[in-house]
């Protein structure tokens, strides 16, 4: 039973999961999250020097922590890494300094791993639609009878909206609505909707007044639509320092949380549902669910 460190380099956050797996059971040894804002102020798909420096600093610390547990370290880039023309600065640095290959996965792969991570977590439901709102894109995974039947990624991300529209809230809403029209939904009878990612887990934490993040409380929680609307209105009326106080475990997320909550609300409206579940299990758990030899091929 080997131990792995799976590090997710997203558009806004860097996440680290150190865990072991036995059959379908994952034992978490350590988890960390840190805001890199890698995609902040990106222009013409060129990452800023400051963003790359922030990300390197986080990766240095995460690699150092990982090595206390294992030498099996997998670092994966998602939306921002897919877009950035100068991402080789980061990948070459990882290769030369740590001999670690920087894996950049497609949005469809990301959505597939999200499915693997959650397919056994909500066993009471035969049909599921997962959505993962990220900094650069949003992934959708459609599951029926414990099988992933379709995946889709949309160029709909919190940092992407921030960079394009800044504080123009109404323009953001209209853009989200137009992007969601691109979604191709397979035939499902009565699917349950499940949200993944930092926005929805932060919303649950605010809802439950958590001053310290607790995965056991957050995972499989439910948010009703009227509760979501209340939380969104509360965020819209709050200053950034006030929002930071609502999520003291992740205060740097305060500048994007309102936009993220708006995207979630538009997704819930799009699917015409009155509630959704929240999953604490992102695609890193899906990578861990792969067979041992498949994980080894990623190293």
Task: State the pLDDT at residue 51.
Answer: 95
Residue 187 DSSP symbol: P
Question: Buried b / exposed e across 212-227, counting CB within 10 Å, b at 16+?
Answer: ebeeeebbbbebeeee
Task: State the pLDDT at residue 96.
Answer: 97
User: Is 150 in the same domain as 91?
Assistant: no
User: Is 139 in the same domain as 268?
Assistant: yes
> Which pTM value belongs to this model?
0.93
User: Is 180 in the same domain as 49?
Assistant: no
For the record, the structure tokens of 257 come out as 């949380």
Task: State the pLDDT at residue 25.
Answer: 82
CATH number of the structural domain spanning residue 19: 3.30.420.40
Task: State the pLDDT at residue 22.
Answer: 78
User: Is 219 in the same domain as 275?
Assistant: yes
The Cα 118–Cα 2 span in angstroms is 21
Task: State the pLDDT at residue 124.
Answer: 82
CB 162 within 8 Å of CB 259: yes
Q: Which residues contact 201 (CB under 8 A, 6 or more apart)?
A: 213, 218, 278, 280
User: Is 15 in the same domain as 97?
Assistant: yes
User: Is 163 in the same domain as 63?
Assistant: no
Residue written as token pair 């034992």: 27
Task: State the pLDDT at residue 290.
Answer: 83
Count of the separate structural domains present in the chain:
2
User: Is 101 in the same domain as 140?
Assistant: no
User: Is 126 in the same domain as 49?
Assistant: no
Q: What is the domain extent for residue 67? A: 3-106
The Cα 78–Cα 62 span in angstroms is 17
CATH number of the structural domain spanning residue 264: 3.30.420.150
User: Is 146 in the same domain as 267?
Assistant: yes
Task: State the pLDDT at residue 296.
Answer: 66
User: Is 234 in the same domain as 271?
Assistant: yes
The Cα 50–Cα 22 span in angstroms is 40
- Asked whether the CA dihedral 261, 108, 166, 175 is positive or negative, the reply is negative
CB 213 within 8 Å of CB 205: yes
Per-10-residue mean pLDDT for the chain, 299 residues long? 92 95 86 94 94 97 97 95 96 97 95 94 91 96 95 95 90 96 92 96 96 95 98 96 94 93 98 97 93 67
User: Is 190 in the same domain as 223?
Assistant: yes
Task: State the pLDDT at residue 167.
Answer: 84
Task: State the pLDDT at residue 123.
Answer: 82
**Per-residue CA distances from 189 to 125, 127, 299 (Å):** 12, 8, 40
Final residue before a domain boundary, out of 106, 140, 163: 106
**Per-residue CA distances from 256 to 134, 243, 260 (Å):** 11, 10, 6
The 3-state DSSP class for residue 185 equals: coil
Final residue before a domain boundary, out of 80, 106, 132: 106
User: Is 80 in the same domain as 162?
Assistant: no
């Amino acid at each position: 039973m080997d131990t792995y460190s799976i590090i997710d380099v997203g558009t806004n956050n860097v996440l680290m999961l150190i865990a072991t797996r036995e059959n379908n059971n994952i034992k978490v040894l350590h988890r960390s999250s840190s805001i890199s804002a890698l995609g902040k102020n990106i222009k013409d798909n060129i990452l800023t020097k400051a963003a790359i420096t922030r990300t390197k600093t986080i990766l240095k610390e995460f690699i150092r922590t990982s090595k206390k547990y294992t030498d099996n370290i997998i670092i994966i880039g998602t939306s921002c890494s897919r877009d950035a023309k100068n991402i080789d600065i980061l990948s070459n640095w990882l290769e030369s300094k740590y001999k670690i290959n920087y894996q950049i996965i497609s949005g469809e792969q990301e959505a597939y791993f999200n499915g693997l991570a959650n397919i056994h977590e909500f066993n009471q439901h035969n049909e599921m639609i997962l959505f993962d709102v990220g900094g650069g894109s949003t992934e959708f995974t459609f599951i029926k009878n414990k099988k992933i039947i379709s995946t889709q990624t949309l160029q709909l991300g919190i940092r992407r909206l921030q960079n394009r529209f800044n504080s123009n809230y109404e323009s953001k809403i209209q853009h989200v609505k137009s992007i969601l029209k691109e979604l191709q939904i397979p035939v499902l009878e009565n699917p349950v909707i499940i949200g993944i990612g930092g926005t929805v887990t932060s919303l649950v934490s605010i809802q439950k007044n958590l001053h310290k993040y607790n995965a056991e409380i957050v995972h499989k929680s439910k948010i009703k639509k009227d509760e979501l609307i209340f939380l969104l209105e509360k965020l819209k009326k709050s200053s950034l320092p006030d929002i930071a106080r609502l999520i003291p475990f992740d205060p740097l997320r305060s500048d994007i949380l309102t936009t993220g909550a708006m995207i979630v609300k538009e997704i819930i409206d799009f699917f015409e549902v009155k509630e959704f579940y929240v999953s604490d299990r992102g695609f890193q758990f899906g990578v861990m669910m792969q067979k041992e030899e498949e994980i080894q091929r990623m190293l």
